[in-house]
Structure 1
């Protein structure tokens, strides 16, 4: 056999072997195109597009730990200290549609207090589109006017219910005029079983909240009313806000349609001997905030009721770095009708993201 014949035979053998194993060859898949996270600034700071979709997502929350001394809501609480830690996770989505932005809001809270297990609360969960919101949020009796002052113990004098299911329509004319109408679940939220022991079984009529507001320049005014369909009474709140440049201030007043009864919108926030002391016929709140510099701010609030509850709170907010808060606060409450009072304090550390 000459060299030429040997080479031809070897080539034929290699071709035969290669053909026999062609079906078993490993073929690398084409790499998927890499999609970087895109910023979505149409709905505010912090949103980004979920890869592969046109839905924008925002992830946020906070971790908080604080020491509490006594209790501004309870004259019978003589416990010297209580340490409380909380974590919250919030997910918000937004997608553009022909009817406006389709949004969702989800918020979950975990709480731990010394000597107790972790408590979980599905705080908020709602869908909104074209001015309509449906799901679990705080009552529009609070949200529309704005909560009370920029202090931790802002609702020692009750200012309205918080978490409850609702169907709400918010209107914004774009010229400073706003309005709201909300059907709120009778059987959820504080006062759901009747603030005075009323029987709410088989009760399906919703509570109703409605409000109007106007803002021009540094001044804003809002009024809101809530009707408790179990108690068949309600309350009205009116609020004025002003920004004077060097400080901001608010004044809010509330009227109870029946001073002898509590209802979901004019209820009681006390505990112990003060558990059932509500507004009486009326309540007032006032407060101010003074920015000292970019790291420091001081805030205070006072409130008083027809039932002779007096509550005062003051704090200092310190931001040593962005998104980190250190906040000492002191409160004093006096329940004149039961001849009781209480001093309380909080030292809070909070990291928001």
Structure 2
């Protein structure tokens, strides 16, 4: 065998071995593309898509701490300083369907007062689709009219119930006209009673709320009525709002169908010697908000009833930075029917997110 033949044979052998190794080589897999969180702007700011789904999620809440001196709802209150801290977590979901957005709203609250353990409350939990809402929310007797003024102690004079199960339909014509009808859970079950001690242990009929409203430009008007099926009485509230640019104001009036009785929609928030003192035949609320500058606003609310409850509250709302609010507030309440009154104060710090 000559040298040329040897070299050619060696080259062929090396080529065969190299080909075999190439066939057996491990090829690294391409990395899977990462799915980053996608913004979902179809339902407002703050929503994002839950990865792998077409459902949008919004996470929010607040942390609040405040000191309170005396109690605007209780003429017997002799508190020094009650320090109260609260945290709330809100979860909202939304997804598109052939009937419109399918939404949920969940809100959990934790409260702690001086010397007490933490209390947990499922504040709201509801499902909404096509204008219908089912679950636990505040009564439409409050929600539809926008509660009362922009003060902490806005319901010293009772303005309606909160936190109850309901089936509600909201209608918005898109031209300023709105309407609502709601079937709301009554206080029924073993040992349950109505607003005046009525036996409601086997009561089955829901309470009913209905309202209409119209807004045009700077003016808005709403009227809402609630019927308490246990007491078989109810109440009506009407509210006018106006924005004058330099300030905004509201006036709201309520009528109790039987001023000698309390009912779910014309009740009492009084405590101590003021417990059970309701509107009588009627109640009035009025208030104003005056922006002083971009970070500071002054608010005031006055309320008076046929039963001669007078409640006045004023505060300053200061936002030193975005989403941080500081509120010093002073309230005065007079219950003429029991010849007692009360001054109270609150200093609140709240961070929303």
TM-score relative to the length of structure 2? 0.92
Pairwise CA distance, 1:297? 0.4
Aligned to 2:263: 263
Aligned to 1:238: 238
Measure the CA separation in 2 of the matches of 1:120 and 1:209. Answer: 28
Aligned to 2:3: none
Aligned to 1:130: 130
Query: 2:333 aligned with 1:333, yes or no?
Result: yes
Q: Deviations over 1:306-351 (max 9, x none)?
A: 1110000000011000000011000000001011100000000000
Structure 2, unmatched stretches of 5+, are: 1-5
Aligned to 1:116: 116
Pairwise CA distance, 1:28? 6.1
SS at match of 1:124: strand
SS at match of 2:141: helix
Structure 1, unmatched stretches of 5+, are: none
Cα RMSD of the aligned pairs, angstroms, is 2.5
Measure the CA separation in 2 of the matches of 1:250 and 1:29. Answer: 67
Distance 1:298 1:26, change over 3 A: farther
Measure the CA separation in 2 of the matches of 1:247 and 1:306. Answer: 29
Q: Deviations over 1:236-281 (max 9, x none)?
A: 0000000000000000000001111101000000100111100011
Aligned to 1:222: 222
Aligned to 2:197: 197
Distance 1:282 1:34, change over 3 A: same
Aligned to 1:277: 277
SS at match of 1:51: coil
SS at match of 2:337: helix
Aligned to 2:288: 288
Aligned to 1:154: 154
Measure the CA separation in 2 of the matches of 1:142 and 1:28. Answer: 63
SS at match of 1:273: helix
Distance 1:28 1:75, change over 3 A: farther
Displacement over 4 Å in runs of 4+: 25-30
| Paired residues, number | 347
Pairwise CA distance, 1:97? 1.0
Pairwise CA distance, 1:32? 2.6
SS at match of 1:337: helix
Measure the CA separation in 1 of the matches of 2:96 and 2:291. Answer: 37
Measure the CA separation in 2 of the matches of 1:330 and 1:26. Answer: 76
Measure the CA separation in 1 of the matches of 2:106 and 2:315. Answer: 30
Measure the CA separation in 2 of the matches of 1:198 and 1:317. Answer: 42
SS at match of 2:111: strand
Query: 2:25 aligned with 1:47, yes or no?
Result: no
Aligned to 2:104: 104
